[in-house]
Amino acid sequence: MAHAWRACLPARVSRVRVPPPPLMDKIKILVEGYAHSGKGGIYIASCTTILIEHKGKKILVDPGANPDKLSRALAKEKLAPGDINIVFLSHYHPDHFLNIRLFPKHSIYDGTMIWKSDEELQFSGKLPGTDLEIIPTPGHAPEQASIVVHTKQYGVVCVAQDVFWWEDGKQQSQTKEQLMALVDPFAIDGDALRLSREKVLSLADWIIPGHGEMFQNPLRRMKL
Ligand SMILES: [Zn+2]
């Protein structure tokens, strides 16, 4: 009977919802991701690059592959690469990471590691030094991770990158069914991708895709 005390606990302990931090984050799309075929068999793609302002820190998510577009977008915000505190990579596809060459002195963060020169440091949960929640969202790529941001303007924004993405000119999905059925020719694990999509749709008011326009979660839209 060493564990008789357990009988006193309720069968299910309801999960305590963690309130968003009192200081709301700001989020801005610096470059909207694009993807289309070019001439001579060339494919032209660079991802959405996002700036998050969180507790005085500037976090750049996925610098993309086009250095001119990123440099112009940073300059528009009166920022230089040196003003960025954290460079975060959602996953290791070149259209998302090639521009880390603009940040040679920065540590590079991904969903589980901080890379500084030849040093690697593992972490789990929140992005180190912040309250930003990192959630694993594999499927498109095994290491793909998303960031949850609490904003005043949009509520909960999930920077989901290639959990959802569209080629240029394609109609973006309007319903949960369409979003779940969205075909990703580059996905390496369709089952994992579906679970990741469910996860993102369960928590976000707005979603930022890797290529295409930021969109409102259709499940939240119905509740309004
Ligand atoms: Zn991509």
Kindly write down the DSSP assignment for every residue of 160-191, as one continuous string: EETTS---TTPPPP-SHHHHHH---TT-S-HH
Please report whether residue 17 resides in a domain.
no
8 pLDDT more than 80? no
Of the listed ranges 42-46, 186-190, 220-224, the least confidently predicted one is 220-224
Instruction: Give distance in angstroms: CA of 37 to centre of ligand 1.
Output: 14
Instruction: Give distance in angstroms: CA of 210 to centre of ligand 1.
Output: 5
Domain housing 109: 24-223
What local confidence, expressed as pLDDT, does residue 222 receive?
53
What local confidence, expressed as pLDDT, does residue 14 receive?
56
Domain tally for the chain?
1
What local confidence, expressed as pLDDT, does residue 73 receive?
98
Instruction: Give distance in angstroms: CA of 68 to centre of ligand 1.
Output: 18
Instruction: Give distance in angstroms: CA of 103 to centre of ligand 1.
Output: 20
Instruction: Give distance in angstroms: CA of 11 to centre of ligand 1.
Output: 44
Instruction: Give distance in angstroms: CA of 214 to centre of ligand 1.
Output: 14
Please report whether residue 206 resides in a domain.
yes
Of the listed ranges 8-12, 49-53, 171-175, 180-184, the least confidently predicted one is 8-12
Instruction: Give distance in angstroms: CA of 95 to centre of ligand 1.
Output: 6
Please report whether residue 18 resides in a domain.
no
177 pLDDT more than 90? yes
What local confidence, expressed as pLDDT, does residue 16 receive?
62
Q: What is the pLDDT of residues 116-145, one digit of tens each?
A: 999 999 999 999 999 999 999 999 999 999
Instruction: Give distance in angstroms: CA of 96 to centre of ligand 1.
Output: 6
Q: How far apart are CA 192 and CA 133, in angstroms?
A: 20
Q: Which amino acid is at 160?
A: A
3 pLDDT more than 80? no
Q: Which amino acid is at 187?
A: A
What local confidence, expressed as pLDDT, does residue 15 receive?
60
Q: What is the pLDDT of residues 11-60, one digit of tens each?
A: 555 566 665 555 689 999 999 999 999 999 999 999 999 999 999 999 99
Across 195-209, average pLDDT: 97
What local confidence, expressed as pLDDT, does residue 1 receive?
45
224 pLDDT more than 50? no
Instruction: Give distance in angstroms: CA of 63 to centre of ligand 1.
Output: 11
Instruction: Give distance in angstroms: CA of 150 to centre of ligand 1.
Output: 24
What local confidence, expressed as pLDDT, does residue 221 receive?
75
What local confidence, expressed as pLDDT, does residue 2 receive?
45
Please report whether residue 14 resides in a domain.
no
Please report whether residue 2 resides in a domain.
no
What CATH number has the domain bearing residue 118? 3.60.15.10
Please report whether residue 11 resides in a domain.
no
9 pLDDT more than 90? no
Please report whether residue 211 resides in a domain.
yes
Instruction: Give distance in angstroms: CA of 219 to centre of ligand 1.
Output: 24
Q: What is the pLDDT of residues 73-123, one digit of tens each?
A: 999 999 999 999 999 999 999 999 999 999 999 999 999 999 999 999 999
Strands, E assignment, the chain: 26-31, 34-37, 43-46, 49-54, 57-61, 86-88, 108-109, 113-116, 119-122, 133-136, 145-151, 155-161, 206-209, 215-216
Instruction: Assess contact for 59 and 28: CB atoms under 8 A.
Output: no
Please report whether residue 63 resides in a domain.
yes
Give the distance from CA 97 to its chain's centroid: 13
- What the block records as the tokens of 66 is 């086009």
